[in-house]
């Protein structure tokens, strides 16, 4: 996993959240629905981007009643 690829995913997620400020999803959902389909980004790369964003205070992470981890602005 290249740092440049993680940065591209972070940027894409931030753009998505700018257009959809109330969006909430799991890492799997973000990989499938929030990123350009042609990118074919795996969930591990998305998770690395989400971890970076969480650590920087750019997104929130919470677990729902089913213990699925969800991310939002």
The HSE-up count of residue 15 (CA atoms within 13 Å, CB side) is: 9
Would you say residue 44 lies in a domain? yes
Pure H helices in 1-73: 3-19, 27-29, 43-55
Number of domains comprising the chain: 1
Q: Does residue 68 have a pLDDT over 70? A: yes
Whole-number Å distance between alpha carbons of 72 and 22 = 7
- For the stretch 2-48, pLDDT in tens is 878 899 999 999 999 999 999 999 999 999 999 988 888 999 999 99
- Does residue 73 lie within any of the structural domains? no
Q: Quick check: is 14 in a domain?
A: yes
Task: Tell me the residue range of the domain where 33 lies.
Answer: 3-67
19: in domain: yes
Residue 48 in tokens: 């690395």
Judge contact between 58 and 19, C-beta under 8 A: no
Kindly report the pTM of this predicted structure: 0.90
Residue 57 lies in a domain: yes
Give a yes or no: residue 48 inside a domain.
yes
Residue 72 lies in a domain: no
For the cut 70, the answer to whether the pLDDT of residue 1 exceeds it is no
């Amino acid at each position: 996993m290249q740092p440049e690829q993680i940065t591209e995913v972070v940027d894409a997620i931030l753009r998505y959240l700018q257009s959809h400020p109330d969006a909430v999803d799991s890492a799997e959902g973000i990989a499938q629905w929030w990123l350009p389909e042609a990118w074919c980004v795996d969930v591990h790369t998305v998770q690395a981007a989400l971890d970076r964003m969480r650590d920087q205070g750019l997104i929130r992470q919470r677990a729902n009643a089913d213990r699925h981890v969800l991310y939002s602005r």
